[in-house]
Amino acid sequence: MRLIELSANKSSFKRVKFNRTGITLIVGRHRMAKKTDLKKTYNGVGKSLIVALVNYCLGSNRNEHFNTHLPEWAFTLVFEHAGETHSVTRTTGDAKLLYDDKEISLNKYKENLEQLGAFVLPAESVGYLTFRSLLSFFLRPKNGSYVRYDRPQPEWKEYQSVLCQSFLLGLDYHRAVQKHDQKKKLDEQLGLAERYKKDKELKEFYLGEKNAEVELLELGTQIKRLEENLTAFRVAEDYAERQHKADRLHSVNRIHQ
């Protein structure tokens, strides 16, 4: 996949063109800032915004910051893959977008990106191994993405990071999947063992002191009876009056005793 151009529907946005070969350097500087004040000279000129917009046009989730501060802005990214040119236009606050001049949902667009072949994903579905997750290693979308080289998404677990890196490096990522699945099963067994120690009912079933099928049948009967009672339950219109009369009779009865 090669980026070609990023533009917007507002004249205040300067069109960004990416080099066809080599690298593209995006630099910016305030015209009136003093050279000695580096923070005021280079910060806040839109370099990080361009990265965020490319990420936005490549299927990131809703961006509330864009919706609030850039209402009705539409950003268009043109890119090329396998000799074919594609374009996507995404308008802030809009649930749908235009992909190759066709209006589709964000989820459908993500499916198209998966099938495009920028990353040759395995035929079988592997959790966390997606176009979006792999893209994070090349387009780091957050400030926290630069804290660790191996974790472009700060909230990722160790498994997600190892899985994606193994895939990108051409390693046998199935080993990471197998280790993760085995660890999950071990945790489930340990959790069950802990429950067994504390749960008296569970222990009785395991020791054979209770028959699970009989207990289940009995519970089903109780549930049905409760549902029937609930359906038939009606509060009398003169409930309060009857309650008052019953309380009065009860008081009189106590006095006579």
Integer CA distances (angstroms), 190 to 26, 144, 193, in order: 52, 34, 5
- Residue 162 and residue 78 in one domain: no
Q: In the Cβ-directed half-sphere of 56, how many Cα atoms lie within 13 Å?
A: 29
Domain of 231, in residue numbers? 211-257
Give the pairing type, strands 74-81 and 84-91: antiparallel
Q: Across-strand partners of 76?
A: 7, 89
Q: What pLDDT is recorded for position 235?
A: 57
Last residue of a domain, which of 67, 83, 118?
Answer: 118
DSSP state of 105: E
- Residue 18 and residue 107 in one domain: yes
For 208, the enclosing helix (H) or strand (E) is none
Q: What pLDDT is recorded for position 188?
A: 84
Token reading at 155: 């909230």
Instruction: Check if the beta carbon of residue 42 is closer than 8 Å to that of residue 28.
Output: yes
Task: Give the CA dihedral 31, 35, 36, 39, nearest 10 degrees.
Answer: 50
> What DSSP assignment string belongs to 43-84?
TTSSHHHHHHHHHHHTT----HHHHHHSTT-EEEEEEEETTE
- Residue 84 and residue 129 in one domain: no
pLDDT digits (tens, 9 = 90+) for 63-82: 888 999 999 999 999 999 99
- Residue 80 and residue 33 in one domain: yes
Query: Which of residues 195 and 151 earns the better pLDDT score?
Result: 151
Is the pLDDT at 136 greater than 90, yes or no? yes
- Residue 11 and residue 25 in one domain: yes
- Residue 185 and residue 238 in one domain: no
- Residue 110 and residue 13 in one domain: yes
Total number of domains constituting the chain: 3
pLDDT digits (tens, 9 = 90+) for 204-252: 655 555 666 666 777 778 888 887 777 776 655 555 665 665 565 555 4
Last residue of a domain, which of 70, 95, 118?
Answer: 118
Is the pLDDT at 152 greater than 70, yes or no? yes
